[in-house]
Structure 1
Amino acid sequence: MVLARQPDLALRIAEFVREHGRITMAAAIRLTGGNCNTLKQHFRTLMERGHLMQHGAGRGTWYELR
């Protein structure tokens, strides 16, 4: 799992999760100031590449490192 090849937003998300244990979409928006749809794509990519695991659905969704 090579995170260094990820875009800056994805790296910031992964670093936050590493430091805090988990992240929500609302926290990612506050942290990065990014657009919700852009962040969703980064979360999706991080999950597909095996870096994050999703828990829950809808507004209660949170993510942690694999």
Structure 2
Amino acid sequence: MFFLRSLAEQVRRLEKKVERERLVLATLPELSLQIVEFAREHGRVTMMDAIKLTGASRNTLKQHFRDLTERNHLELHGSGRGVWYRLK
């Protein structure tokens, strides 16, 4: 019984977490959602990955990456041409 109660509690916690993430991600623009999904699927995302994925300009993507890091969705790693991002 202890194991089943513990498992049920974990399921409830996970459902709450998924619902919170769904609400947060619903407020993001489509381009930002594509970037976050790519990072989720591949573990990390670079500027070139985002350009190939979306076809958007570098300046537009810079703004989206900046916004995603400020909102704590992505974490910046490296500098210059070697910059990459991963989910936080």
Give how far 1:42 is off.
0.2
Q: Take 1:12 and 1:41, find their aligned partners in 2: how far apart are those partners?
A: 14
Structure 2 residue aligned with 1:20: 42
List structure 1 segments (4+ residues) > 2 angstroms apart after TM superposition: none
Higher strand share: 1
Structure 2 residue aligned with 1:52: 74
TM-score using structure 2 length: 0.73
Q: CA RMSD in A?
A: 0.8
Structure with the greater alpha carbon radius of gyration:
2
Per-residue Cα deviation, 1:10-64 (whole angstroms, up to 9, x for no partner): 0000000000000000110000000000000000000000100000011000000
Give how far 1:5 is off.
0.5
Aligned identity (percent) is 64
User: Unaligned 5+ residue runs, structure 1?
Assistant: none
User: Unaligned 5+ residue runs, structure 2?
Assistant: 1-20
Give the secondary-structure state (helix, strand or coil) at the position aligned to 2:85.
strand
TM-score using structure 1 length: 0.97
Aligned residues: 66
